[in-house]
Structure 1
Amino acid sequence: MTAHPSPDHHPSTGPSGPQTFSGEPFGARLRRAMDERGPLCVGIDPHASLLTEWGLNDDVAGLERFSRTVVEAVADRVAVLKPQSAFFERFGSRGIAVLETVVAQARQAGALVVTDAKRGDIGSTMAAYAEAFLHKDAPLFSDALTVSPYLGYGSLRPAVELARESGAGLFVLALTSNPEGGEVQHAVRGDGRSVGATVLAHLAAENAGEEPLGSFGAVVGATLGDLSAYDLAINGPLLAPGIGAQGATPADLPRVFGPAVRNVVPNVSRGVLRHGPGVAALRAAAERFAEEIRAAVAAV
């Protein structure tokens, strides 16, 4: 695959047809995509084991074939694609070149792209990370980026400001599905509020007054069970990993997210990807998950 120039110079095919990216806020674009295509996010996670399962070599050529196949199969029909940057970075500059093309081609096909890089730092370093993924002229410009607030929520300010300027969004780690996350996220501050609840409150403030949906979302695991103790009404999207291989199902979503379920973007990675390398089988798997998620949300 040959890397495309900046997406700013390429028309993209949106949920309703061809369109040129205009800086419309991510939250508005995401709400429209979820309403028209269904609220499914498919992860692009080219694990070495998945490459092997697909009969591909664990090298750049295998990475390229895997990623191109996923984009071909689902980018024109799902709301969101989420490439995991680490699986591209491990191949060095050639892997990053593949990621650049995946991002550009997925957006050109109409999917919104959330680059899962979980960046988190301070000052000029955080600003540089933001420029890499959120500046409209950057080769890796994405519709949204995952970030970590655990150097203090205020450390994310450069990313928040550039996302607003570029019409992009953020997904901030709040209540993650990994068991280790609880020792930080459930820790209680001096004011009696947990760290995770504090992150959610910051995001609600970022999204205040935004319609139809704010652009600053939280990552909240679908495997966490009853979250009624947390205020998930942040007027922003909730990226929910854990559907499929991690054990959660679409039917669990209303129980976990309650009234906020309409703003949930469930992420499925291996549950779809294991059906490759056939394009038709990948599409069928994604469509099954999308229908199950629609049905679960509609039942609320």
Structure 2
Amino acid sequence: MSPVPFGARLRAAMDARGPLCVGIDPHASLLADWGLSDDVAGLEAFSRTVVEALADRVAVLKPQSAFFERFGSRGIAVLEETVAAAREAGALVLMDAKRGDIGSTMAAYAATYLDPASPLFSDAVTVSPYLGFGSLAPAVDLARENGCGLFALALTSNPEGQEVQHAVRADGRTVAATVLGHLKAANADAASRGELGSYGAVVGATLGDLSSYDLATGGPLLAPGIGAQGATPADLPRVFGDAVRNVVPSVSRGVLRHGPDVAALRAAALGCADEVRTAVDEVRTPVERQGL
């Protein structure tokens, strides 16, 4: 049997648990805030606590690979344990690795995160399309084969991204619009069946009015920037318009700062998910609200 596509699993998880992604970002200052040492022991305690608190109740957990990689092989071992434990508890795991390369190297990156035989096998991974979207073909193909997803950087919230993403091509389209167009094409089959596609875009929630862009890619939109970066759930309809139904808001510090208390982490995450539900519900039609 073919695996259930990531887009379908993501839609079901958001409907059941709320449209929210929580980052697992064990940077040094946050470990210190939790009273943990900036070493592998602290990394392990932090990650275990986040998984215990949230993996059975939020839709998506997003480990930032760099914060584990900085501890070398022992840090990667903790990342492997974190991914496995989170998936076992029912969360979808989005590996935030932002990989991008060409040929056999891209194929190796894809196998690292999208091959069920890999110890870092995740439900989805972030990728960079800035060696040309076609360079991501090994990841697109393996994701399709194994029911996984991709989130390609499209309109990121960092100011430096504008020099590439807002650059205008010879055909008059911006680079970001081109990336969104490729994702829409990749999601066409799912869209024809009325399903959420598995190939998503990363679009910052802090960017303001994006009505000049076609965000209706048929796939999910990962929206970082909620909380510490200044965006709120109430901003989502203004930024994303009708595409807000497919938005997966991503929050890290806004939830993680409530640790290491498990109950406080849960309350913060569930409270944020409820705020997102309320904001999205305001733009849904009466029929959609009834689940028809």
Scaled by the length of structure 1, the TM-score of the pair is 0.92
Residue deviations 1:48-82 (CA, integer Å, cap 9, x gap): 00000000000000000000000000110000000
After superposition, residues 59-70 of structure 1 pair within 5 angstroms as 59-70=39-50
Structure 1 residue identity aligned to 2:69: E
Counterpart of 2:10 in structure 1 is 30
1:78 aligns with 2:58: yes
Q: Is 2:249 the counterpart of 1:266?
A: yes
Q: Provide the rounded CA distance (Å) in 2 between the counterparts of 1:149 and 1:297.
A: 29
CA distance in 2, matches of 1:235, 1:130: 22
What is the aligned counterpart of 1:178 among 153, 158, 179?
A: 158
After superposition, give the CA deviation of every residue in 1:171-215 in whole Å (9 maximum; x if it has no partner). Answer: 000000111001100000000000000000000000003041100
C-alpha change, 1:22 and 1:55, in structure 2 (3 Å) is farther
Question: Would you identify which runs of 4 or more consecutive aligned residues in structure 1 move more than 2 Å?
Answer: none
Aligned match for 1:215, one of 189, 195, 198: 198
- Which of 216, 231, 235 is residue 218 of structure 2 equivalent to? 235
Letter in 2 for 1:282: L
- Counterparts of 1:240 and 1:44, CA distance in 2: 15
Could you tell me how far 1:253 is from its partner in structure 2? Answer: 0.2
Distance 2:267 2:139 in 1: 36
SS state at 1:110 partner: coil
1:251 alignment partner AA:
A
C-alpha displacement at 1:22, in angstroms? 7.0
Rounded to whole Å, the distance in 1 between the matches of 2:182 and 2:270 is: 34
Secondary structure, aligned partner of 1:227: coil
Match of 2:289 in 1: none
Deviations 1:248-299 (A, max 9, x none): 0000000000000010000000000000000000001001101100000001
- Matches of 2:282 and 2:86, distance apart in 1: 31
Cα separation, 2, equivalents of 1:289 and 1:228:
25
- Choose from 270, 282, 287 the match for 1:299: 282
**Any idea what SS the aligned residue of 1:209 has?**
helix
| SS of alignment partner, residue 7 of structure 2 | helix
- Is 2:73 aligned against 1:93? yes
Residue 255 of structure 1 pairs with residue 235 of structure 2: no
Residue aligned with 2:153, SS:
strand
Matched, 1:194 2:177: no
Q: Find out whether 1:280 has 2:280 as its counterpart.
A: no
Q: Matches of residues 135-174 of structure 1 in structure 2 within 5 Å? A: 135-174=115-154
C-alpha distance in structure 2 between counterparts of 1:128 and 1:206, whole Å: 21
Give percent identity, aligned residues only.
80
Q: How many residues align?
A: 280
Match for 2:221: what amino acid?
L
1:107 aligns with 2:87: yes
How high is the TM-score relative to the length of structure 2? 0.95
SS in 2 for 1:182: helix
